Amino acid sequence: HLSGSSTRHLCSLSTDESERLTAAAAFVRLGLERHQKCVCLVPDYSEESTYRALQSGGIDLPAAFSSEALQIITPRQLMLKRDGFNPYRLFTFWKQSREEALRIGFAGIRAVGSLHALMRQQPLDSCWLEYEEKLTDLAEEGESAFLCQFDRGATDTSEVRAAVRAHSAFILGGR
């Protein structure tokens, strides 16, 4: 269940791309129904599969894109790959995206971040935990909901535990 104030900052743990995309599509569909601007940060290699999953999940992509209600971006587009996971740059992007969404008339922002490709470059550390805390604070301010996606196979057990603890709720698999 992906609604309510206690689920504004979620973590999903997937074993494969299909589970990750199923969770993302459900999260985005709910945001579009709530007139939120939906932003998906997806790995460079899965942009096309993300489009297909969203469409299979019942999302009218042409309508969502033409109304600016949906944006799909990659780490390369945010220049996150060059220096790995940059918590300040990413948090600033989410905050500015929320402000822009509100300015143009959306009810808020609903963001999906598939960070597992970036996390392979460096372990989860205090910078990452601080980033997650700031996302929780931003979500609690209102007008924001975040789904941080992790690949259980690419993350060691201690990092999985840390990821779960850093979020208000978690999704196991695609549900």
Q: Is the model more confident about 115 or about 60?
A: 60
pLDDT digits (tens, 9 = 90+) for 45-61: 788 999 999 999 999 99
Of 47, 48, 26, 46, whose CA–CA distance to 38 is shortest? 26
What gap in Å lies between CA 38 and CA 109, rounded to an integer? 6
Amino acid symbol at 94: W
The residue ranking higher by pLDDT, 37 or 126, is: 37
- Cβ neighbours of residue 112 under 8 Å, at least 6 residues apart? 24, 27, 28, 38, 39, 40, 41, 42, 146, 147, 149
Residues 117 and 84: their CA atoms lie apart, in Å, by: 9
**3-class DSSP state of 41:** strand
Which residue has better confidence, 4 or 129?
129
pLDDT above 80 (res 157)? no
pLDDT of residue 76: 78
pLDDT (tens digit per residue) in 81-95:
555 667 788 899 999
Tokens for 64, please give them: 């969502």
More confident residue, 10 or 162: 10
